[in-house]
Amino acid sequence: MKSSLIIELASRPRRNRKNEGIRRLVRETAVTPSDLILPLFVVEGRDQEIPIESMPGCFRLSPDRILGIAAEAAALGVPAVALFPALEEGLKDPAASESWNPDGLLQRTVKMLKGEFPELLVITDVAMDPYSSDGHDGLVRDGKILNDPTLEILARMAVSQAEAGADMVAPSDMMDGRVGFIREALDRSGHAEVGILAYTAKYASAFYGPFRDALDSAPKSGDKKTYQMDPANSREALREVLLDEAEGADIVMVKPALPYLDVISAVRGATDLPVAAYNVSGEYAMIKAAASQGWLDEEAAVNEVLLAIKRAGADMILSYFALDFARRCQ
Ligand code: PBG
């Protein structure tokens, strides 16, 4: 072997990787706490911090504890939280009627948060599943998930969240006509300033398992394949983008994030609306599980994942790692 061989090469990409100085200058993408939205699980009570087994480091928190975490998130520069209520089984029914209770757990939490932190953006989910005794996102009749009859429920839910002070509502059931119907309901009830973060391309994914554990919201029968998208499809995502845009969405979202980077990129190219991506519970659990075995460096893996999602075209990322990441940026 001749170790002194030097060849003439006009282009040597390694020159731009030579030291941290040049690497910083040529870096194309950066993630900051400003890009992140922190999802939080709310549970009834005081001083409650109930661990979620399949999401180590995440908890179901009572509203007073939510305030504490939100204060920390805001201080670290995380601009938004997304709230998901974990209800006791006794409050669930087939029509999800607890979802529009003005004194419901979610509504009280939103009121409290907005009272304390008016500048923190509060996003609420509009879907029946956390409130439904069937564990589905829509009304169920004879084993079928009904599209149109569910709309009135979603409109009531969204308006009730807006009255509580939510800044944005996030219809997440992936059924048809949601964004337009909710937009109209919000406008008619005097909530034209409340935005819509549309779950535009949400796939029927295996990566939601830990979230369903957190809320005890897994479907009691069947699956969600008649409403959530087939993981095999990406052109269909663009069709959903056009519809949500026409119906008045303010932000479009792709979910999950990591297995769908191509979809994030395609959606970015198809719309001028801001694009969000949801780094979901299963993506969180995978990293946590591997890191706890010593098989992955958690910090490095999280940084790489968030960066990849941003590089693919997401303007903002919902992530259970948001707080950890923001703490490290201090
Ligand atoms: C329900 C909803 C789900 C998630 C967000 N909203 C679960 C589902 O569709 O079954 C999943 C989020 C996650 O896994 O982190 N409408």
Render pLDDT for 24-50 as a digit per residue (tens, 0 to 9).
999 999 999 999 999 999 999 999 999
Q: Of 178, 121, 193, 185, which is closest to residue 156 (Cα–Cα)?
A: 185
Ligand 1: atom nearest CA of 174 is 16
Ligand 1: atom nearest CA of 172 is 16
**pLDDT tens digit sequence for 173-186:** 999 999 999 999 99
Q: List, chain by chain if needed, residues with CB within 6 Å of any ligand 1 atom.
A: 125, 127, 129, 137, 172-173, 208, 211-212, 224, 280-281
**Over 80: is that where the pLDDT of 302 sits?**
yes
Ranges assigned E (strand) in the chain: 36-42, 49-51, 59-61, 80-85, 121-126, 140-141, 144-145, 168-171, 195-202, 251-255, 275-279, 316-319
Please give the distance, rounded to the nearest whole angstrom, from the Cα atom of residue 224 to the centre of ligand 1. 11
Which SS3 state, helix, strand or coil, does residue 90 take?
Answer: helix
Please name the residue whose Cα sits nearest to atom 14 of ligand 1.
208
Residue 93's pLDDT is: 96
- Of all residues in the chain, what percent carry a pLDDT higher than 70? 99
Ligand 1: atom nearest CA of 218 is 10
Name the token pair of 186.
């919000």
Where does 97-150 have alpha helices with state H? 105-116
Ranges assigned E (strand) in 25-75: 36-42, 49-51, 59-61
Residue 221's pLDDT is: 86
Q: First-to-last CA distance in the chain?
A: 49
The stretch 124-153 carries a mean pLDDT of 94
pTM metric for this prediction: 0.96
Sign of CA dihedral 34, 35, 38, 39: positive
Residue 218's pLDDT is: 87
Residue 215's pLDDT is: 87
Name the token pair of 49.
């911090």
Measured from the Cβ of residue 147, the count of other Cβ atoms closer than 10 Å reads: 16
Q: Is 25 exposed, middle or buried (0-12, 13-18, 19+ CB in 10 A)?
A: exposed
**Over 80: is that where the pLDDT of 1 sits?**
no
Q: Which of 225, 280, 283 to mutate to test the pocket of ligand 1 (most atoms within 8 A of CB)?
A: 280
Q: Is 101 exposed, middle or buried (0-12, 13-18, 19+ CB in 10 A)?
A: middle
Average pLDDT of the chain is 97
Q: How confident is the model at residue 192 (pLDDT cuts 50, 70, 90)?
A: very high
**pLDDT tens digit sequence for 226-268:** 999 999 999 999 999 999 999 999 999 999 999 999 999 999 9
Residue 210's pLDDT is: 96
Report the catalytic residues: 202, 255
